[in-house]
Amino acid sequence: MGQLSNSYYRLLILPFTLIVAIKKFKESDEDEIAKKTIMREVKMLRLLKYKNIVLLKEAFKRKGRLYLVFEYVERNLLEVLEDNAVGIDPKRLRLFIYQIIKGVTFCHKNYVVHRDIKPENLLINPKDNSLKICDFGFSRPLPQTF
């Protein structure tokens, strides 16, 4: 298992050769605000199943810590931007924008507002330039009459 950031890990599961990302949270039973944010993220991701939204595969608790298991997506848009100091090819950029609009539209049709769209929360698969929105911790449900 390789650590991707402070709370994300990449895990290779054999014999299936399945690579997943694991988001590990500190003990949340004592911090009500953190617990509420985590549970909101889980609730929203279970509701939102779409090709441009990261897939939550599993959520479990072990030894007082909560773990979220996601599909693994290799990069985020910030990393792509940093690697392309002169800018992203216009055709590729249009594809990214199109996918962001599709993902956000799906959220809004399901009465969810993300509230934290930024390059770090836009995952990119460099093999096919597919984009997925992640990190729904700040998201909120919209009233059904919206």
CATH code for the domain of 83:
1.10.510.10
- Beta-carbon contacts of residue 55 (< 8 Å; ≥ 6 apart): 49, 70, 71, 132
One-letter amino acid at 116 equals D
- Which one of the listed residues 31, 83, 89, 116 is annotated catalytic? 116
In a domain, 64, yes or no: yes
User: Could you read off the pLDDT tens digit of each residue along the chain, which spans 146 residues?
Assistant: 444 444 666 666 666 678 889 898 876 556 788 888 888 999 999 999 999 999 999 998 888 788 899 999 999 999 999 999 999 999 999 999 999 999 999 999 999 999 999 999 999 999 999 999 999 999 999 998 75
> Does residue 48 belong to any structural domain of this protein?
yes
How many structural domains are present in the chain? Answer: 1
114 in any annotated domain:
yes
Query: Is there a domain that residue 146 lies in?
Result: no
Query: Reduced to 3 DSSP states, what percent helix, strand and coil does the chain have, rounded to the nearest 5?
Result: 30, 30, 40
Which helix (H) or strand (E) segment is 91 a member of? helix 90-109
Is 128 tagged catalytic? Answer: no
> Angle at Cα 66 formed by Cα 64 and Cα 52, nearest 5°?
180
Tokens of 85: 């100091």
| Residue located via tokens 């693994």 | 72
Residues 6+ apart with CB under 8 A from 95: 129, 131
